[in-house]
Structure 1
């Protein structure tokens, strides 16, 4: 295990994030895995006797900046970042099926989680990530964030927040390409993964298209391992295929 390198998982409490943590912890090239979440570490997040460093925080910019300050000892050592923030539904909001379902409150909540928080992390982390060694950042996006691939409509807040995330990441990748040249950014569509986020929508998904978190985590880490540092944003699915913008 390389003790000089670290991986960072942001928004670490979900099922897919926990599988990604497990995959990263099993990677002999990564010495330390740091998980950031609003909730405490679940008891089952470990690899034998080894556990990730778990930091609890609120997702306000001052609180996030304080976390980045805590991570200063890892400056230049972070080789993987996975941004897992996202919301599709909750007890108080649901994907819109028609115009009448659109509400300002839901739009603001979904955009905050899916677009604003991931971009703030990349704003705050750029000095920490700058290094001579290769670093790959993946943010969980979605195929429904593709404007060119939108043939069904609906899901206004979720679609739009993921499209906005893609544009933010595209813009960030250009500035990172000038200022943090060692970083590659990927906007990643995991497919329909068997987690709480997709649970209410799984009935219509063919069994061979409903993926386990462990399968998606393995595919994502493999894609990150092979990614070329080219100063460009890649919008990829779980099968490493490009998605139209």
Structure 2
């Protein structure tokens, strides 16, 4: 069985990858990441089933090239990529409607909803061959629709509502 994990260098993705590598059923695991991670590279050196691919899910070119880097059909696709804050952009989680701005909202929707769908579009030729395909998009609790007790991330919650409704 083969699995593709997007967002593998982030907290949720890296933790999930470690769990998945402990399961013998995975013949090959493709781990997609945007920014290199020493922890991810260390896992790849130890684990021959792990194949790292640097892919920016916001890049149409990266997504178009992705299927050509994969071998055979995928059984599972798990996307853990997400955006709550971005120090490069000065983006911080908003705690009220007054803190919202268009650029940060659009960035949040792109990463937390749109990119998840565009990844599946890019992978469709490999997915159509599988009758038992499993697809999961995960997020942090702060992005929960039903349980956002942390009180942050108005934009991430709205993006998740859009991607699951």
TM bucket (normalised to shorter chain) is 0.7 to 0.9
Give the alignment's TM-score, normalised by structure 2. 0.82
Question: Which of 13, 17, 23 lines up with 1:21 in the alignment?
Answer: 17
Cα pair 2:81 2:139 within 8 Å, conserved: no
User: Does residue 70 of the first structure (1) align with residue 69 of the second (2)?
Assistant: yes
Aligned residue pairs, count: 159
User: Could you list the runs of 5+ residues in structure 1 that have no partner in the other structure?
Assistant: 168-245
CA RMSD of aligned residues (A): 2.5
User: Is 79-88 or 153-162 further displaced after alignment?
Assistant: 153-162
SS in 2 for 1:40: coil
Q: 1:127 to 1:51 in 2, by over 3 A?
A: closer
Report what 1:95 is aligned to.
93
User: Is 107-116 or 53-62 further displaced after alignment?
Assistant: 53-62
Q: Name the CA distance, whole Å, in 1 between partners of 2:49 and 2:25.
A: 16
Q: Name the CA distance, whole Å, in 1 between partners of 2:37 and 2:151.
A: 37
Report what 2:102 is aligned to.
104
* Post-superposition CA distance 1:78-109 (Å, at most 9, x none): 11211011011222112222222110011011
SS in 1 for 2:42: coil
Q: Cα distance, 1:116 vs. partner?
A: 1.2
| 1:117-136 superposed matches below 5 A | 117-136=115-134
Report what 1:141 is aligned to.
139
SS in 2 for 1:87: coil
SS in 2 for 1:81: strand
User: Could you list the runs of 5+ residues in structure 2 that have no partner in the other structure?
Assistant: none
Structure label with greater radius of gyration: 1
Q: 1:51 to 1:96 in 2, by over 3 A?
A: same
Higher relative contact order (CA 8 A, sep 6+): 2
Report what 1:211 is aligned to.
none
